Structure 1
Amino acid sequence: MLKINSFPLLFLKRTVYHVIKSINESPTLYSIPTARISSGRMQAWIIYYYGDNQQFTLSDSIQIPIILSPKDVLIKVLSSSINRIDIRRREGYGGKLIETYQSMKNILQLGGNQLNKLQFPIILGRDFCGEIVRKGPKVTKFNVGDKVYGALNVTRQEASALPLVSLTSWYAIRKFSGFNEENALGKRALLIGASGGVGHIATQLLKNLGMEITALCSPNSFDYIGELGARDTVNYREKDWLVELSRKPKYDIIFDTVGPRFYSFELMSSLLNRGGTFVTIVTPIFRNVDKYGLVSGLSRTAYEASKQTLYGWSNGVNYRWAFYTADGKVLNEIKRLIEQNKLKIKLDSKRFSFENIPQAISYVENGHATGKVVINYSSFR
């Protein structure tokens, strides 16, 4: 059973130790992760080049992070999970934008002496559950021995699968679409990719707001998504799925978790009520910067955003790109929903150890996973 302390995790990486900076209940990761500890060193799966899983190298020489700031905490990781963004980052997604950010940060912190040394090696990962083993003198809300992220009735594996997908769903529905307990009851929602990591959390959050949900997903997920709260299910593999949706009453929110692989915003906007919102978590920012460079990529992104927004306005609907940020208050709300049995985390039945992280990523990449895939660190205890 986990102790109740929760905090937001931003760009978290699979490891036995992480250093987290704790600021106003919103710590953010700034150091590196790993696994087996020996003489101040840890193992870590790293990549030196973008590509496929052949790029992974198991390193034995990563230094254990140290407390550098009075607001830092050092966390021993107990479990972690894989997100699809890990696969995209391995392939180079967002590399140019992140490299530019790191270079600018380096100019400010290091005087520009190591501009090209921060991009590689890369250690992938976002979510974990762990135990605080050290903390700086100004950390007052957390103590050594606290298990974070935690909730009373979830396992450590479920906790490690929770932060990214729950923050993403919450921000898309509440912050960017503006739905809450006061205005959502009885409204209609279409969820694209309902059975995925973000999708299955979003289904439950929408249900908890009293919304009527139509789930667009594969037929093998119909029963499961129905149990989570979807009233209708539509098979996206059928050629006439859009026709089927168009025969139903229109929606107040369309939440896209997979991106425009087989539809366009212009197409989907016809399914919205006037004043409705189309919100997507798949944005072209990283893709455009990777393809066109920083200036041209950001310019193209601004053009695409303006084009979609203006199209939406002209048709009486809203178009939103959703992002999340570290938010301890939101994760405490998520924790409360879990403890009230109003939110459940779906884990894939297959588990992987730290030594098999590349295989776990392939498992997710090839579409075999149902729910979140968890990495177990018990062999390092």
Structure 2
Amino acid sequence: MGMGVTIMSSFSMFSNPLMVCAVAAAAFYFCPENGFEIRVPRYVLQCIMGSGFLYGGYKIFFSKPASAVKSKFIYFSSKETMTAQTAREYKTDKMEMTTEHPCPKVVHPNDVLVRVCAASVNPIDHRIIAGHARPVFDQMRLQKGLPCGGAELPLVVGRDCSGVIEDVGSKVDKFKIGDEVFVAIGAEDTPGTFAEKVLVKDFMVAKKPSTVDHTKAACIPYVCTTTWGALVGRCGLGPKSTAGKRVLILAGTGGIGTFAIQLVKAWGGHVTTTCRTDGIDLVHKLGADDVIDYAKGTIEAALAERPKFDVILVTIDPRAIAPCQSALKKGGKLVTIVVPFIDNFRKHGMLLGRMVNALLKLRWKIEDFLYDRTTMISFNRPNGGALEAARKLIDDGKIRPVIQKTFPFEAANEALEYVKQGHARGKTVIVMPNAEKRHEGAKSEELISE
């Protein structure tokens, strides 16, 4: 009976008609002639499948796709211009620096205008301008009233920054002009932070840590909100619930990994992480209790030798999800920030891609039920509260920014290419001309900012 209940309850997960089609098709395909143990007749599942496909087909062929939609609230009669790094088209790996980009202006009551001092480079930056999952981003922007369908071009790149507030909306009471802040925006939000100024909402913002400069502060926001959504939002970890728990964090030397290790250790958890041989010293300095050198064998073999984990954070190749699932304790939770969804959209198109993704989620649901575990997906969401918590931990010396290399604003394309190559040791930061003077390129022994 449990299997049937699990499959039937999965329908509530997929409000999208395409998800309904996929789930119904899977149920029909795997159902024995006499139905499941809850004795759902096969003809009932056939009816569900047929109805799902009819409804899904109607929505696919008769609903209108996101067309070019402009937003009057982004630049709103601004006559000023600014320097920005923009992508004029998708399917590119280069940005173009312009001095004539419209300068944003406060319009809404909760708007905050920030003069950018430094911004970090994240892997999602090159994926966005490469056009990965563009239809998905179009739908997300349409729902938020942002420019989409091509109206967002030229697109300012960048997901986070540290800077100084230049103006605020009428209902912003937590911040004032002149405050030093750091901020992370969503993957779909436009415009981005590789510019002299960026317009954001007050809930995305927090005061900058007082113990670090803008360059160091800029490497924190996006990895913080991503990690927070996964470990806190999805797995329930926190200052009072982490002590004594075994947590596995994949890719410990990357931007997410370096922050996540320190966050879990600050809350009293036991951290195991993975990295190459040359990164072992770094992750130990960050507080990792146990390190798996993936250059010396398979992750499956290494995990089989260790006690099971309460929580696992997957930050790399989605193919790592399956072996990590087997390393969970009973009742354990695996959360991944990398899923094959975007690749499935690119390989199969939006229609078939959604069906393939729905089947993947259904498989996880069934296997989780059978093995008493939970597999979850986490997407980045702006979260000023998470940044405020990180600010306190940084000022208390419990989390230290980890920077691998810095680039001047004019060399933003070099920074983007550097991050694209992978095997990061912390974050890469772009420094604006108005920020503190720094030497370009931090050396490995200087990775951890004291």
TM-score of the superposed pair, with normalisation by structure 2: 0.69
SS in 2 for 1:352: strand
Q: Which amino acid aligns with 1:210?
A: G
2:247 to 170, 178, 189: 189
1:198 to 234, 245, 256: 256
Q: Does 1:48 align with 2:88?
A: yes
Shift of 1:59: 2.3
* Further displaced range: 194-203 or 121-130: 121-130
Shift of 1:115: 7.2
Whichever structure has more helix as a proportion of its residues is 2
Tell me, in whole angstroms, the C-alpha distance in 1 between the residues paired with 2:217 and 2:255. Answer: 13
Tell me, in whole angstroms, the C-alpha distance in 2 between the residues paired with 1:338 and 1:170. Answer: 15
Q: Which amino acid aligns with 1:70?
A: P
Tell me, in whole angstroms, the C-alpha distance in 1 between the residues paired with 2:144 and 2:391. Answer: 34
Q: Deviation per CA, 1:164-208: give whole Å up to 9, x if none.
A: 101111221121112234432222111111110000111011112
Match of 2:217 in 1: 159
Tell me, in whole angstroms, the C-alpha distance in 1 between the residues paired with 2:232 and 2:383. Answer: 13
Match of 1:372 in 2: 427
Q: 1:380 to 1:226 in 2, by over 3 A?
A: closer
Tell me, in whole angstroms, the C-alpha distance in 2 between the residues paired with 1:314 and 1:218. Answer: 34
Shift of 1:60: 2.7
| Contact 2:109 2:172 (8 Å CA) reproduced | yes
Tell me, in whole angstroms, the C-alpha distance in 2 between the residues paired with 1:339 and 1:205. Answer: 13
SS in 2 for 1:237: helix
Q: 1:183 to 1:219 in 2, by over 3 A?
A: same
* Further displaced range: 121-130 or 132-141: 132-141
Shift of 1:374: 0.9
* Further displaced range: 177-186 or 270-279: 177-186
Tell me, in whole angstroms, the C-alpha distance in 1 between the residues paired with 2:262 and 2:389. Answer: 13
SS in 2 for 1:279: strand
Q: Does 1:172 align with 2:212?
A: no
Q: Which amino acid aligns with 2:136?
A: L
| Contact 1:70 1:137 (8 Å CA) reproduced | yes
Unpaired runs of 5+ residues, structure 2, are: 1-72, 183-207, 437-450
SS in 2 for 1:373: strand
Residue identity (%): 30
1:85 to 105, 124, 142: 124
Give the alignment of 1:87-102 within 5 angstroms. 87-102=126-141
| Contact 1:216 1:235 (8 Å CA) reproduced | yes
TM-score of the superposed pair, with normalisation by structure 1: 0.81
Shift of 1:232: 1.1
Match of 1:128 in 2: 161
Match of 1:318 in 2: 374
Tell me, in whole angstroms, the C-alpha distance in 2 between the residues paired with 1:339 and 1:372. Answer: 19
2:394 to 318, 328, 338: 338
Q: 1:231 to 1:313 in 2, by over 3 A?
A: same
Tell me, in whole angstroms, the C-alpha distance in 1 between the residues paired with 2:380 and 2:419. Answer: 22
| Contact 1:170 1:205 (8 Å CA) reproduced | no
Tell me, in whole angstroms, the C-alpha distance in 2 between the residues paired with 1:118 and 1:314. Answer: 47
Match of 1:281 in 2: 337
Shift of 1:269: 1.9
Tell me, in whole angstroms, the C-alpha distance in 2 between the residues paired with 1:240 and 1:101. Answer: 38
Tell me, in whole angstroms, the C-alpha distance in 2 between the residues paired with 1:136 and 1:277. Answer: 40
Shift of 1:127: 0.7
Give the alignment of 1:180-329 within 5 angstroms. 180-261=238-319, 263-265=320-322, 267-329=323-385
Tell me, in whole angstroms, the C-alpha distance in 1 between the residues paired with 2:435 and 2:325. Answer: 50
Q: 1:355 to 1:330 in 2, by over 3 A?
A: same
Give the alignment of 1:24-63 within 5 angstroms. 31=74, 40-53=80-93, 55-63=94-102
Superposition CA RMSD, Å: 2.3
| Contact 2:251 2:273 (8 Å CA) reproduced | yes
Q: Deviation per CA, 1:11-34: give whole Å up to 9, x if none.
A: xxxxxxxxxxxxxxxxxxx848xx
Q: 1:171 to 1:92 in 2, by over 3 A?
A: same
| Contact 1:96 1:290 (8 Å CA) reproduced | no
| Contact 1:217 1:233 (8 Å CA) reproduced | yes
Tell me, in whole angstroms, the C-alpha distance in 1 between the residues paired with 2:396 and 2:149. Answer: 49
Tell me, in whole angstroms, the C-alpha distance in 2 between the residues paired with 1:356 and 1:369. Answer: 18
Q: 1:197 to 1:235 in 2, by over 3 A?
A: same
Q: Does 1:143 align with 2:198?
A: no
Shift of 1:48: 2.5
Q: Deviation per CA, 1:75-127: give whole Å up to 9, x if none.
A: 11111110011121122122111123445666xx9xxxx97442422221101
* Further displaced range: 171-180 or 199-208: 171-180
Match of 1:71 in 2: 110
Tell me, in whole angstroms, the C-alpha distance in 1 between the residues paired with 2:348 and 2:137. Answer: 14
Tell me, in whole angstroms, the C-alpha distance in 2 between the residues paired with 1:220 and 1:135. Answer: 45
Q: Which amino acid aligns with 1:159?
A: A
Aligned length: 336
Match of 1:17 in 2: none
